Amino acid sequence: MTVNEASRRYAGEWVLMKITGFDENHGLKEGVVVCHSRSRARISRYDEKVHNEDPTALCFVFPAGGLHLTPEETRELMDAAARGEYVNARW
């Protein structure tokens, strides 16, 4: 499952993923959801358990539901914003 898929599926919860793949920019691409919960403490307990079982495991803990962009997607959005119409952000 990709990080974005997990983020959409478990929106409003914390997610612990064991990362299994990276994209061409070395960004986190996919993994296995080990645990998801509204409790951050529960996620921390599972994270510790995963590392006790496999000290080399690369885990990613994140609050799901947010937008997770690759570096390339971030650059494209920033480039588009820089070329767009000026917006006065002083309120």
Q: Residue 90's beta-bridge partner residues?
A: none
Categorize the per-residue pLDDT at 50 as very low, low, confident or very high, splitting at 50, 70 and 90.
Answer: very high
Categorize the per-residue pLDDT at 81 as very low, low, confident or very high, splitting at 50, 70 and 90.
Answer: confident
Q: Which of 48-52, 63-67, 87-91 has the highest mean pLDDT?
A: 48-52
Residue 91 pLDDT > 60, yes or no?
A: no
Q: Quick one: which of 42, 41, 20, 40 has its CA closest to 30?
A: 20
Residue 88 pLDDT > 80, yes or no?
A: no
Residue 53 pLDDT > 80, yes or no?
A: yes
Rounded CA separation 65/44 (Å)? 19
Tokens standing for residue 80: 């588009």
Q: What is the pLDDT of residue 68?
A: 63
Beta strands in the chain (DSSP E): 14-22, 28-37, 59-63
Rounded CA separation 69/4 (Å)? 8
